[in-house]
């Protein structure tokens, strides 16, 4: 039986989504309906950061599969730690919506000063040394200057996986959701609202779920390069494989090849897809060689990959003016976001393999053994 909270949460999605038309629960069909049903069963609600992808059902499924199999499934890393890392990655990507969601869930699971320190970006005040190092690592995971991974290779599928998932979600949320899921109130009222939300989110996150339950939403796929970090846990490896292949296939059908090649080249050879702002003259220069009709899509894709918080209404409107509909916008940005996240995962796994043989990592809390 559907809970009152679940039914009420269905009304939240339309008010949170910008630029595209969300698919209401009552209108969901086919793959979208399957994802919504699983989300309500395993997550307790239709989460706007996932539901924003619904205009492109395959991209929606890929996003849900990643979130479920990495964050929700019980494993070697507890849910609270993964929520703290998710909030930290969101801090690094300047995604206030995801910071509020995941620091509030962390607060609901553990309570106390550590959750508030994560939310306020006061990493040095976190008392637990392992948590402090993990939060710092997540906070800096998208940049060029990254700390050594403070975890073992056995934990990599969940911790690198959490970072990869939220480097994707942060980019999409920055573009398509409002600034915060919490009401626009301040002071003690905001604190009370946050505590109430923490109680709800903590209860929803406390149950856990079994591995592999979402994999049938996407077809099997051959593993591409860049997913070595996932190899230690079969359900995570399969989720990453299927999600990446599905999004790549969708993009191949609707995103111009020249745009995909440009973004792919820049991710491989340019600066890491971190939180720093994109220089507008650089953006104009790197897109200058494209046909006029492809430049708006290229600009949106590059900003999505490198600095999603810089996407403005005007950037989206330029794509609309070229005839892109909701499905094409979500496919374009979803592909760019996941491509950037995949590049982050490759770099983080490289750090881990280097750390495994480097003496400098030996004294890290929880460091590679």
Whether the Cβ atoms of residue 333 and residue 262 lie closer than 8 Å to each other: no
Half-sphere exposure for 185 (CA within 13 Å, toward CB): 10
Whether the Cβ atoms of residue 55 and residue 196 lie closer than 8 Å to each other: no
The residue whose two tokens read 């320190």 is: 117
Q: What is the 3-state secondary structure (H, E, C) of 251-276?
A: HHHHCCHHHHHHHHHHHHHCCCCCCC
Task: Report the alpha-carbon distance of residue 369 to residue 363 in Å, rounded.
Answer: 10
Which of these is catalytic: 95, 98, 319, 361? 98
Residue 175: exposure state from Cβ atoms within 10 A (0-12, 13-18, ≥19): buried
Q: Which of 280, 76, 244 is nearest to 168 (CA)?
A: 244
Q: Which residues touch 245 (CB under 8 Å, ≥6 apart)?
A: 218, 219, 221, 222, 224
Task: Report the alpha-carbon distance of residue 245 to residue 227 in Å, rounded.
Answer: 12
Task: Report the alpha-carbon distance of residue 360 to residue 136 in Å, rounded.
Answer: 17
Strand, helix or coil for residue 213: coil
Task: Report the alpha-carbon distance of residue 339 to residue 244 in Å, rounded.
Answer: 8
98 is annotated as an active-site residue? yes
The residues annotated with a catalytic role in the active site are 98
């Amino acid at each position: 039986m559907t809970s009152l909270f679940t039914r009420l949460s269905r009304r939240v999605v339309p008010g949170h989504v910008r630029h595209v038309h969300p698919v209401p629960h009552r209108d969901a069909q086919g793959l979208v309906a399957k994802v919504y049903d699983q989300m309500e069963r395993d997550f307790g609600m239709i989460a706007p950061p996932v539901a924003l992808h619904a205009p492109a059902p395959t991209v929606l499924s890929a996003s849900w599969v990643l979130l479920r199999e990495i964050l929700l499934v019980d494993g070697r890393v507890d849910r609270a730690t993964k929520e703290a890392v998710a909030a930290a990655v969101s801090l690094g990507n300047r995604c206030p919506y995801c910071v509020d969601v995941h620091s509030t869930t962390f607060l609901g699971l553990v309570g106390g000063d550590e959750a508030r320190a994560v939310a306020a970006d006061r990493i040095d005040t976190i008392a637990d040394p392992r948590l402090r190092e993990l939060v710092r690592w997540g906070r800096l995971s998208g940049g060029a200057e990254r700390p050594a991974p403070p975890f073992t290779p056995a934990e990599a599928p969940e911790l690198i996986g959490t970072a990869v998932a939220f480097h994707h979600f942060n980019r999409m949320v920055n573009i398509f959701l409002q600034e915060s899921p919490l009401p626009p109130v301040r002071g003690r009222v905001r604190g009370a609202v946050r505590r109430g939300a923490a109680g709800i989110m903590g209860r929803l996150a406390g149950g856990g779920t079994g591995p592999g339950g979402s994999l049938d939403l996407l077809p099997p796929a051959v593993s591409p390069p860049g997913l070595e970090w996932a190899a230690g846990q079969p359900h995570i490896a399969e989720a990453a494989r299927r999600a990446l292949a599905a999004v790549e296939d969708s993009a191949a059908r609707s995103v111009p090849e020249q745009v995909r090649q440009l973004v792919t080249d820049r991710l491989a050879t340019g600066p890491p897809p971190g939180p720093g702002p994109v220089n507008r003259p650089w953006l104009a220069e790197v897109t200058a060689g494209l046909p006029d009709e492809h430049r708006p899509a290229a600009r949106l894709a590059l900003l999505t990959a490198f600095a999603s918080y810089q996407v403005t209404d005007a950037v989206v409107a330029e794509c609309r003016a070229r005839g892109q509909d909701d499905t094409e916008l979500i496919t374009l940005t979803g592909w760019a976001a996941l491509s950037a996240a995949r590049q982050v995962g490759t770099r983080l796994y490289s750090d881990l393999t280097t750390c495994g043989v480097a003496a400098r990592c030996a004294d890290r809390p929880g460091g590679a053994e």
